[in-house]
A and B are shown apart, each in its own frame.
Chain A
Amino acid sequence: MTVSDMIARLVGVGHKYETGPEIFKGITVDIEKGSFHFLTGPSGSGKSSLLRMLYLGLKPTWGNIQLFGEDTLKVTSSLLPLLRQKIGVVFQEFKLLDHLRVIDNVSLPLRVRGIESKRGQKHVQELLDWIGLGDCLKAYPPSLSGGQKQRVSIARAIITRPQLLLADEPTGNVDDDMAMKLLYLFEELNKMGTAVIIATHNQRILEKFPYSQLTIKEGSLLKLPMRKVAYE
């Protein structure tokens, strides 16, 4: 596998917060273009920290991360936003902007990239319709339920069709039907070429979708290959 086939390459990555034990003991893993992974592991094992490292929100204490062919330790402040623009992130705590309407929250990544247009706005509306938030376009996040906020967060992450989608417990606040619907959405996105990494505890999802699993266990990362399961 060549470097050009890689979205991310982690080599001997370790991390230790100022207080507390080390959470990774030299993780080495490749994330290929167009791949789909579930990130699993017990609570506190470091799933969110690993995702943070991948979206350049946390620097590894040791080791090296290459993202889109760039060494993240040498990334300049001008290159950092350009790398982040290739990544869509669904945050566990949503991180929506409370003073902006739902439609504006979702179109924010388009604005940031300078590609907001009427066509883009129409696309935002279609996406929000599809995830069941067509009636909430002009609502403000504080008036939404946890599940609705989560869906807005997902819509914001995928609106730009990123090369890498990182989702931290994206189905934690929605019912099973919506969880499945969102997973199908991620699958569609993946088919269009986006590499997807989803941190989840949801066993039903793990059983239903046979993608490769990256499991964090005692600071190490185990990679379980994609299972061969026939679709129902």
Chain B
Amino acid sequence: MNKRQDLPLKNDVAARFVPKIVALMVYVGTLCFVFTLFMTHTAHIWETQFTTQLSIEIPTFSDNASSALQERVVQFLNRTPGVQRVITVPQKEMENLFYSLLGEDANLELLPLPAVIDVTLDGKENVDIQNLESHLKNISPYLQIVDHRVWQNHVTNLIHTGVFLALIITLLILSAALATTTFAIRTSLLIHRQIIEVLSLIGATHSYIATQFQINVFKQGLIASSIGSFIAFLTFLGIKILLEKSGFSFMMSSSFFFQSICVFILSPFFTALSMMLAARLAVMKALRS
């Protein structure tokens, strides 16, 4: 690529406003894309951490009735085809869960905490949940089956919808940036039509003229989107610090953080390259017509 510009594109009116618009769009677009990543990670966490598909709640009875019932249920489940794993949630874990919901001052002795048995299905055999429930009801009518798969599916669908919408918004922002570039290029072509005519008359190919524009747009795009991406990164760091201070640091896993950093680094190059391509297409189309 030639370093010298034959067209005075740096002094264009368009050159003044396009970088500002692009910086703003990259700021919003990058944060939007990182949000998409965050949602995807969250969905992944949901899907991997909640491996159990069923829970069975055994209400508290006096004496040792609960323990005996719990024992019978575990035995029954272990014999049931299609059940891979049966785990009784420790009482301490249940207490911690309630403390986290009700606060440390809650008096759990006043609350009859149910025993909970987590059931993991192997997925190979199709377990009829209604049949399983009726068998369990035969053991005790007070047993409650909670099928996690229903609400897990709801949450996953919700997250996927969020991801889809965020991606659409990111694409719209990118499209707006490219449309702005195309508009600015057309304005530039009008401003410099006499110089372009001279270049054409001395034998410049359309590709040569388009290259002049695309180099300029790439430089502008790279600088503007780097600024936008850097400010987005600072915003991201601010949100991370806020989440850490609020006790939600678990929401930002190290892999998500690493991927986000990659997005902040790569988005200026991706934006600049996209703008360069848009500029080339706009010039080639205008020169052919």
| Interface residues in chain A, defined as those with a beta carbon under 8 Å from any beta carbon in chain B | 55, 57, 77-78, 81-82, 84-85, 87, 89, 95, 97, 99-100, 104, 108-109, 111-113, 156
Contacts and interface: CB of A to CB of B under 8 A. Distances in A.
Contacts of A104: 4
A84 B203 contact: yes
Contact of A95 (B6, B198, B205): B198
B4 A109 contact: no
Contacts of B199: 108, 112
A97 B198 contact: yes
Given A77-B206, A89-B201, A97-B198, 9 more contacts: A81-B206, A84-B201, A84-B203, A85-B202, A97-B195, A112-B199, A112-B203, A112-B204, A112-B208
Pick from A57, A78, A100 the residue with the most CB of B within 10 Å.
Answer: A100
A81 B198 CA distance: 12
User: Dominant SS at the B interface?
Assistant: helix
Contacts of A108: 6, 199, 202
Contacts of B201: 55, 57, 84, 89, 95
Interface of B: 2, 4, 6, 8, 194-195, 197-206, 208, 287-288
Nearest to A116: B2
A82 B204 CA distance: 8
A109 B202 CA distance: 6
Contacts of B200: 81, 84
A171 B287 CA distance: 33
29 contacts: A55-B201, A81-B200, A81-B203, A81-B205, A81-B206, A82-B203, A84-B202, A84-B203, A85-B202, A85-B203, A87-B203, A89-B201, A89-B202, A95-B201, A97-B6, A97-B198, A99-B8, A100-B6, A104-B4, A108-B6, A108-B199, A108-B202, A109-B202, A109-B203, A111-B2, A111-B4, A112-B202, A112-B203, A113-B203
Contacts of A112: 199, 202-205, 208
A55 B201 CA distance: 7
A156 B200 CA distance: 14
A156 B195 CA distance: 15
A121 B206 CA distance: 24
Given A100-B6, A112-B208, A77 B288 contact: yes
Nearest to A81: B205
Contacts of A97: 6, 195, 198
Contacts of B202: 84-85, 89, 108-109, 112, 156
A125 to B, nearest CB: 17
A218 to B, nearest CB: 29
A85 B195 CA distance: 17
Nearest to B203: A85
A113 B205 CA distance: 9
Contacts of B6: 97, 100, 108, 111
